[in-house]
Amino acid sequence: MSPARRPRLEVLVTDREQAVARLHQLAGARPALRSAFQPAWQHIASGADPADLEAWASGILDLANVNAGPGCLVAAWQISVTLQPRLGLVALGDVVRAAAELCRRAGSRAAQAGLNACPTVAARLHGAGEMLQWWRSLHHLAQTAPESVALVASNVAAILEPAGLGGWQSFLSAGLKLGGTDRARRLAFFGLEDEAARRMLARLGETVDFQHVERGLKLFLTALWANPPALRIAPHGMPGSGGVGPGGWPRRTSLAGRIVLMPEVYRGVSPETARLLFRAAAAHASAHVALGAGRFPVGQLKPLQLALVGLIEDARIEALAMARFPGLRRLWAPFHTAAATGAATAPGLLARLARALFDPTYVDTDAFVVKGRALFAEHAGRLDDPAMSRRVGNLLGNDLGQQRLQFNARTYVVEPAYRDDGLGLWDFTDPPAERADQIEVVVDAMRPQPQAGEAPPRGEPERDPLAGGRAREAASDGRGVVVATYPEWDRAGNVERPAWTTLRDVPPPLGDAARIDALLAARPDLRQRIARLVRGARLGLPARLRRQIDGPDLDLDALLEAAIAMRRGEPPDERIHRDTVRLARDLSVSILLDCSQSTGERVAGYGAGPPVTVLDVQRQAVALLAEATAPTGDPLALRAFASCGRDDVRLFRLKEFSEPWGAPAKARRAGLQPGLSTRLGAALRHAGAELAAARTHRRLILVLTDGEASDIDVADPLDLVEDTRRVSRQLKARGIDVFGVTLDPCGTGAGAAMFGAGNCMKVTRLDDLPARLAELYFRLARR
Amino acid sequence: MNLSPFRIAAEPYYRPVGNEVSIFEAAYRDRLPVMLKGPTGCGKTRFVEHMAWKLGRPLITVAAHEDMTAADLAGRYLLSQDGTVWHDGPLTLAVRGGAICYLDEIVEARQDTTVVIHPLTDGRRMLPLEKRNELLAAHPDFQLVISYNPGYQSAVKDLKESTKQRFIAIDFTYPEPEIEAEIVMREAGTEAGLAETLVDIAGRSRNLRGAGLNEGASTRMLIHAARLVGAGVGLEQAARASIVLPITDDAEMREALTAAIAACV
Ligand SMILES: Nc1ncnc2c1ncn2[C@@H]1O[C@H](COP(=O)(O)OP(=O)(O)OP(=O)(O)O)[C@@H](O)[C@H]1O
Ligand SMILES: [Mg+2]
């Protein structure tokens, strides 16, 4: 833009009402701009609200006004076209204005680099709010290191990808600190040539994910509440929801009855913060479950009201939780960072209100926040009445509604980050017909109901009064919660296909525990034989050896006898020492049961009594083994599996490692029914992954199968045999022994091929199974 | 025979939790053997001391262990200048002198050792001293008390059925929070707020019993923690030193416990 035109433009820009018209004039006046502007304008303007267009155009004029140059303007139009659906024109106007500000501080090259980076930033970060924060970080950088702004902006992908917004900000401040006044050093840092910069990026890329903290969280919650909700990873890729970040990763926890769905990772925070965030989030969600009271009917509430009622309910629950556990305040407080500054946006005010209700020392004079505080304080005596959340939330919702602040349920994310997405509070079932559409939008916008298989946690059969209609519907297809995906070996292609199988955790149907006890009682002979085995093995007990030649202690009685013998003039027995030897035990075992259709076959003439199935015999054998090994204290887990194609490998958790062999485990064991196919490799990989976490020195997987791997989508069973063989070997290499027990009356199975001849036991007479299994166990346990 | 060293001069503080005192008194009236069941550090030993004081009997305590033999309990010949002399074991001492004999953690002893108490704990009330060829009738005031922690036992290490069935049992658990706080206050000389918080902390750890911990924090641990605080250690530090570190070596468990403790204070 030529200096000669500037005065004219300045006059025009002040006339806000006419920004669109002025923009046309500006673009029309220069051929170079015109050819870029026309198509962009057509794209942007079609169907847009005139007021939004004005707001956007005035941002563009700001950019023109700081002499940013045609390159910047064209870049601004381009990102407006690409990001309009995501951010909306008003926010884009703000983005361009932020670019203008940057241009003022660091020049047009920096502004253009910033604009060019916007699509990447939008894809990595969440919404206009974070986008503008990102721009502010550049403004800040421009104050001390204007020369580096363009450079760092052009490296945005490399930094934002691993680090997220928080990491980006730490990266910038680290660069400023390290570079100091040394311009060259700063350039090297922000150009990612400096070693320190690379190291920092690598470190920021380290994440602590749910798997790292799962056990600790479970223990923590059990300590707090004795009977805490179950924690699961939230399924990835739920469509267009405010609680979902780029790439479909959930960013907030979600409540589904007595299940808490947790994000797999919290992006953009340091590993230490992530640990705290997981803990804070788990404490918050579990407090809802422990202290909350069922779901609210949605009724006629609008999204903003839903959000506000949720916010009040959060404050109420946290107040109750902190009355019970005062220290929780210190866990949650660091995440309340909302500040009483900046423009009043709906999400901003919600975050500030959340802080105001949490933090009595926080000062905020905004009328809405003040009113929210006052209303909450009025109800302080009725904190145990959930109806107060609804009342106060509604009142505040009306208030905020009258301020005409925009609230976009699709992009709204609950703050602070440890809180849940709020949807678990609502009962979306049975909407009145005329409201169905709107509610559909709300549900859709915020979060779809939890996916399949949100079954009640173990020990809490079906009766989940909070389960919503959709959840129940989804669960009834029985596909369960996706817990992992695993690769599978492709024999023909000689490659490993990544993420080929999907493993789902399906709650086992409950049967009658008494049935297992009856099975045990039916075979007193076997029971005794196995009990003898246990006693004979004397597992884990120190054995005391008296009258030894050598040893750390004296055997007092032997010593006395020797002394008496010497006085009598007889040769004394020199074995006067005592010693103990401890047969060390350090073993975890996972038993993997094939419960595919073929295990439903009947076995004639097994023991006395009516005919039974292969599964029944397995049941009995495993029950006997679990009973017999209980005294050894060896951690023993029971898993069953069956599959229906590669995306539906089902895993039934019948007993956990630390769980006693009691009625709940027995009921799960009893309820298992034969069905579907045998995709052994996937189940084995999962059992291996679980065992890998065991702390014991020895880890053993015992597979009980009929030795015939198959699945509906596998043409050649040899593929699965080969896959299983490879997994067994891989596990072996990782220190996990796999041993196959094949129930193979006809001797046709591929047990040896899958597990290796030395690691496989073929049982042809089913009658033998219980005793053989126990013998095997103790043999393996000792070696 | 002088049992005066085994007499308890001053009243040992014991806060009754249920009807254990009257049950014990009734059992003692007929000299029925008593088994105290319960987790570690919940007051079993203190209770016996208190009862021995109350009943005016000397108390002889034996801590059972893996290597304990029948001779360790009953007695043996020792060498002397001119031959051998018989030396009564602690059990024999109590049987002769009419004391209460407390066999702590009886299951730690091997089953072939524990059978020596069988003739003492049925209608015979006799202690056979095989080596001496003597059949010793128990003093009329003698009573046998054993402790037994059901939590740790396994089928491989348990009392014989024939041993168990000779005893009256009194079940000890951790007392109600208010009572436990009272005990902590009294034993450690601390104020109520601290004691209540410590009892709450103990509750957190007891929730993890069987879920990674063999046993939750005992009353004894709480008293230790309270004493550390009394000596100027910060509460969370004291809880760490007297509860978290002793109770588990599992790093995740320690972290979780520490977080739960932090939630209580
Ligand atoms: N009811 C109670 N009254 C008074 N003090 C108690 C009571 N319960 C526990 N204590 C306190 O707890 C401490 C530990 O109790 P004690 O030594 O009797 O435990 P225990 O049950 O014998 O444990 P262990 O099985 O480990 O021997 C006692 O020193 C005492 O201070
Ligand atoms: Mg004791």
Give one DSSP letter per residue of chain B, joined into a string.
---GGG---SPPP----SSHHHHHHHHHHTT--EEEE--TTSSHHHHHHHHHHHHT--EEEEE--TT--HHHHHEEEEEETTEEEEEE-HHHHHHHHT-EEEEETGGGS-HHHHGGGTTTSSTT-EEEEGGGTEEEEPPTT-EEEEEE-GGG-BTTB---HHHHTTSEEEE--PPPHHHHHHHHHHHHT--HHHHHHHHHHHHHHHHTBTTTBSS---HHHHHHHHHHHHTT--HHHHHIIIIIHHH---HHHHHHHHHHHHHH-
- Dihedral angle sign, alpha carbons of residues B243, B248, B251, B253: negative
Mean pLDDT value across residues B105-131: 88
- Per-residue pLDDT tens for A274-319? 999 999 999 999 999 999 887 888 888 888 889 999 999 999 999 9
Average pLDDT over residues A702-717: 78
The answer to whether the CB atoms of B211 and A325 lie below 8 A apart is: no
Answer whether A351's CB lies under 8 Å from A365's CB: no
Which pLDDT band, with edges at 50, 70 and 90, does B156 fall under?
Answer: very low
Q: What tokens appear for B102 in the block? A: 């407390």
DSSP H or E stretch at residue A422: none
> Which ligand has an atom closest to residue B42 CA?
1
B157 band by pLDDT with thresholds 50, 70 and 90: low
Q: Three-state SS string across A124-184, please? A: HCCHHHHHHHHHHHHHHHHHHCHHHHHHHHHCHHHHHHHHHHHHHHHHHHHHHHHHCCCHH
Domain locations in chain B?
4-171, 177-264
Ligand nearest to the CA of B47: 1
Read off the pLDDT of each residue in A438-467 and give the average, rounded to a whole number: 34
Mean pLDDT on A463-477? 31
pLDDT digits (tens, 9 = 90+) for A413-423: 899 999 998 88
A631 interfaces chain B, CB cutoff of 8 Å: yes
Question: Minimum mean pLDDT among A13-22, A462-471, A534-543, B247-256: which range?
Answer: A462-471
Which carries the bigger pLDDT value, residue A145 or residue A454?
A145
What Å distances lie between residue B185 and A574, B46, B223, B230, B242, CA to CA? 56, 16, 8, 11, 16
Q: Quick one: tokens of A555?
A: 């055997």
Q: Which of B156, B208, B262 sits opposite A219 (nearest CB)?
A: B208
For A573, which DSSP code?
Answer: P
* pLDDT at B256 (0 to 100): 96
A157 residue type, one letter:
A
Paired tokens of A668: 């799960």
Please tell me which residue, B241 or A466, carries the higher pLDDT value: B241
d(C-alpha A393, C-alpha A399), whole Å: 10
- Percentage, residues of chain B above pLDDT 70: 97
Are the beta carbons of A560 and B79 separated by less than 8 Å? yes
Query: Mind telling me how many Å the CA of B114 is from chain A's nearest CA?
Result: 16
Both structure tokens of A327: 């220290």
pLDDT of residue A124: 81
Confidence of residue A603 (pLDDT cuts 50, 70, 90): low
Cα distances from A328 to residues A317, A334, A530, B208, in angstroms, run 12, 11, 50, 19
Q: What pLDDT score does A584 carry?
A: 55
CA of B183 to the centre of ligand 1 (A): 9
Tell me which chain A residues have a C-beta less than 8 angstroms from the C-beta of B252: 215-216, 219
**Does B161 reach chain A within 8 Å, measured CB to CB?**
no
Q: Rounded mean pLDDT of B116-123?
A: 92
For ligand 1, atom 18: residue with the closest CA: B43
Chain B residue numbers touching A633 (CB-CB < 8 A):
154
User: pLDDT digit string (tens) for B36-89?
Assistant: 998 889 999 999 999 999 999 999 999 998 778 888 999 988 887 777 889 999
Which domains, from first to last, does chain A contain?
3-204 (no CATH), 210-439 (no CATH), 513-536+585-782 (3.40.50.410), 542-582 (no CATH)
Residues in chain B: 265
In the A/B pair of chains, how many CB contacts fall below 8 A? 93
- pLDDT tens, A332-344? 999 999 988 877 8
Which pLDDT belongs to residue B140? 96
Tokens of A297: 């009917």
Q: What pLDDT, on a 0 to 100 scale, did the predictor assign at position A4?
A: 45
Q: Which CATH homologous superfamily contains domain B4-171?
A: P-loop containing nucleotide triphosphate hydrolases (3.40.50.300)
3 state SS of A15: coil
Say yes or no to pLDDT of A632 above 50.
Answer: yes
The reply to whether B76 touches chain A by the CB within 8 Å rule is yes
Torsion of CA A659, A664, A665, A671, to 10 degrees: -160
- Helical (H) or strand (E) element with A489: strand A481-490
Report the DSSP beta bridge partners of residue A256. Answer: A259
Measure B41 CA to ligand 2 centroid, in angstroms. 6
Residue B251: closest C-alpha in chain A: A216
Res A533: pLDDT: 66
Distance A582 CA to ligand 1 centre (A): 31
Give pLDDT, residue B162.
Answer: 87
pLDDT at residue A72, rounded to an integer? 94
Nearest-neighbour CA in chain A from B154: distance (Å): 5
Q: Using CA atoms, how far apart are residues A763 and A318, in angstroms rounded to an integer?
A: 58
**Residue B80 sits at the chain A interface (C-beta within 8 Å):** no
Task: Encode pLDDT of A66-100 as tens digits.
Answer: 988 899 999 999 999 989 888 889 999 999 999 99
For residue B213, the cross-strand partners are B209
ipTM score of the complex? 0.90
Q: Using most ligand atoms within 8 A of CB, pick from B42, B103, B224 the residue to mutate for ligand 1.
A: B42
Total Cβ atoms within 10 A of residue A387: 11
pLDDT of residue B30: 94
Contact A557, B69 (CB under 8 A): yes
Give yes or no for residue B125 having a pLDDT over 60: yes
DSSP secondary structure string for all residues of A225-272: HSSPPEEEEPPS--SS-TTB-GGG-B-SBEEETTEEEE-SB-TTS-HH
Residue A120: count other Cβ atoms within 10 Å of its Cβ.
Answer: 16
Q: Would the CB atoms of A217 and B77 count as touching at under 8 Å? A: no
Location of structure tokens 């976009």: A408
Who surrounds ion ligand 2 at CB < 5 A? B 45
Instruction: Identify the residue with better confidence: A474 or A713.
Output: A713
- Residue to mutate among A210, A222, A276, with most B CBs inside 10 A, is A222
Q: Whole-structure pTM over 0.90, yes or no?
A: no
* Rounded Cα distance, A474 and A440, in Å: 16
- Read off the pLDDT of each residue in A653-667 and give the average, rounded to a whole number: 83
User: Ligand nearest B188 Cα, by number?
Assistant: 1
**pLDDT, position A534:** 65
CB contact at 8 A, B75 and B87 = yes
Q: How far apart are CA A641 and CA A505, in angstroms?
A: 10
pLDDT digits (tens, 9 = 90+) for A371-417: 999 999 999 999 999 899 999 999 998 888 888 888 888 788 899 99
